[in-house]
Amino acid sequence: MRGIYIHIPFCAKRCTYCSFVSGMPHEKMHLYVDALKREMDERPIKGEDISTIYIGGGTPSVLYRGAISDILSHIFEKCAVGADAEITVECNPDSVTEDFVSEIISAKVNRVSIGLQTDNDDLLKKINRPHDKAGFLRAWKLLEKIPNKSLDLMLGLPGQNEADLLSSLELAVSLNAPHISLYALKVEEGTPLYESGFAADDDLEADFYDSAYRFLISRGYDRYEVSNFCKDGMYSRHNSAYWDLTEYYGFGISAHSLLDGKRLANDDNIDKYILGNCERFVEKSDAAEEYIMLALRTAKGIDLDRLNGYGVDLMTAKGKEITEYIRQGFMIKEGKNLRLNDNAFYIMNDIICNLI
Ligand SMILES: C[S@@+](CC[C@H](N)C(=O)[O-])C[C@H]1O[C@@H](n2cnc3c(N)ncnc32)[C@H](O)[C@@H]1O
Ligand code: SF4
C-alpha cells in the first residue's frame, strides 16, 4: 500500500511567513492540471494499491471548478484506490464555496484540512491571510457534510499573545474539530516576515506550546505527533504514513516521493513542468536516521526492532544517553518501544540530535 501527494502551487495571496512553493500565476492552472495528469501517465503508478491521497499546497481550493475531480478521476482510473482510502484536500476559508464543497464530495474527498492559523482578525491581517474569523466560520459551516476535518493553527505569530492562542484553541474545541494541527512559526529566509527582521522567540514558543498542550489534553484531545492532536482516533492516516516511512508518490512541482527506499524530489519550475521537462532528483537519505527523527515526534515512538531492520541497534549505539534520558524522566522504554515522555517535547530537537 502506498500514498499519493499532489502539490497545488496556487494561492489567493501570499502569507508573510510562507516558504512553500505557492503563489504561481493563476492563468497557469489549466496547463498545470494537464501536466499533473501527464506526470501520472509517465510514472509507474498503474495498478498501484493506494490507501491515502493528499491534495495539498499551496491552496487546492483556489483551483477552478472541475480540477480536483479531474485529478482524482485520473488517479482512480490508473490505481487501485481502496474503498476506505483517506482522501484529503487542503483549503483556505476564503475559497471554500458551495460549489467547491459539492465538487469535492462528488469526487470522493472524505477529509479536509482548513487553515485558520488564528481567530484574531488583526493578526490575520498582519500575516496577510485572505480571510477573517467570520469567513472561517462560514467555510466551516459549508463543510459540515465532511465530518473528518482538520484545522491548522499557528503559535508564535508576530504580536500573538497566549490569550490569542488559547482563544483560537477554544474556538477549535467549541466547533468540535476532530483534528487540530498546531504549528510553531518558522521564520524562513526569503519570506517577507524574515525580511522584516522578525525573529522567533524559542522560549516564548515553548511556553505557548506547553499551555496549548495542556489545554487540548484537558479537552479530550490526544497528541499523536508533536504538532498534531485528535479526538476519537481521527488521526491523519496520510501524515502518519509519512512518519512511519510508508512509501508514496509525489506529483507536481517541488513534490517529494519515497519509492523503493529512495527519496525523490521534483524541481520547482512551473514552466518546465508544464512543458513536460520536470527534473526529478534522488535525495541523500538514511532510513535509520529518518525513522529516529520522525518516530520520536510521535506518541508511539521508536520500535527498536524495526530500527534494527534499518541496521541500527540504538540501545547499543546510544545506551548511555538513553539511560540518562530515562533517569531524568524524559524518555520511556517499554519492551521494544522507546518514546519521549510528555515533559520532553520541548527539548525534542536536542534529544533527536543526540541520538542520531
Ligand atoms: C500548505 S499550508 C495549508 C493550506 C493553506 N495554504 C493555508 O495556509 O491555509 C499548511 C500549513 O502549514 C502551516 N505553515 C505554513 N507556513 C508555516 C511556517 N512558516 N511556520 C509554521 N507553520 C507554517 C500553516 O498552519 C498552514 O496551514
Ligand atoms: S495560503 Fe498557505 S500555502 Fe498559500 S501562502 Fe499562505 S500559508 Fe502559504
- Residue 242's closest CA among 31, 42, 54, 98? 54
Question: Any idea which ligand is nearest the CA of 128?
Answer: 2
Q: Is the CB of 235 under 6 A from ligand 1?
A: no
Q: The domain 287-355 is classified under which CATH number: 1.10.10, 1.10.405, 1.10.3470, 1.10.260?
A: 1.10.10
Q: Give the DSSP letter of residue 56.
A: E
Burial group, residue 122, by CB count within 10 angstroms (0-12, 13-18, 19+): exposed
In the predicted model, is pLDDT for residue 284 greater than 90? no
8 A C-beta contact, residue 322 and residue 338: yes
Q: 63-118 pLDDT, tens per residue?
A: 999 999 999 999 999 999 999 999 999 999 999 999 999 999 999 999 999 999 99
- What pLDDT, on a 0 to 100 scale, did the predictor assign at position 345? 81
pTM tops 0.85, yes or no: yes
pLDDT of 278 > 90? The answer is no
The rounded Å distance from CA 58 to ligand 1 centre is 9
Contact 33, 67 (CB under 8 A): yes
The residue type at 133: K
Give the residue range(s) of CATH 3.20.20.70 domains in the chain: 2-242
Which segments of the chain does DSSP mark as H helices, in order? 29-42, 67-78, 98-106, 121-126, 133-142, 162-174, 192-195, 202-218, 237-243, 270-274, 287-296, 304-309, 314-317, 319-327, 348-355
Query: Considering every ligand atom, which ligand is closest to the CA of 154?
Result: 1
Q: Which triple of cell numbers denotes residue 26? A: 493563476
Average the pLDDT over 312-330 and give the result: 94
| Poorest-pLDDT segment among 55-59, 265-269, 342-346 | 342-346
Distances in whole angstroms, Cα of residue 253 to Cα of each of 79, 133, 239: 21, 31, 19
Residue 225 pLDDT: 95
Say if residue 50's pLDDT is above 90. Answer: yes
Q: Output the residue whose Cα is nearest ligand 2's atom 7.
A: 18
* Cα 317 from Cα 321, distance rounded (Å): 9
Q: How far apart, in Å, do the first and last CA atoms of the chain sit?
A: 28
Closest CA to 212 of 236, 185, 186, 182: 182
The band of 285, judged by pLDDT with boundaries at 50, 70 and 90, is confident
For residue 11, how far is its CA from the centre of ligand 2 (angstroms)? 6
Q: For residues 3 and 81, what is the distance between their CA atoms, to the nearest angstrom?
A: 10
What is the arithmetic mean of pLDDT over 268-279?
94
Probe target for ligand 2 pocket from 7, 11, 186, with the most ligand atoms within 8 Å of CB: 11
Q: What is the pLDDT of residues 112-140, one digit of tens each?
A: 999 999 999 999 999 999 999 999 999 99
2-242 fold:
TIM Barrel (3.20.20)
Average pLDDT, the chain: 95
Ligand 1 pocket residue status of 20, Cβ below 6 Å = yes
150 lines ligand 1 (CB under 6 A): no
Q: For ligand 2, which residues put their CB under 6 angstroms from it? A: 11, 14-15, 18, 20, 22, 57-59, 92, 115
User: Tens of pLDDT along 185-242?
Assistant: 999 999 999 999 999 998 899 999 999 999 999 999 999 999 999 999 999 999 999 9
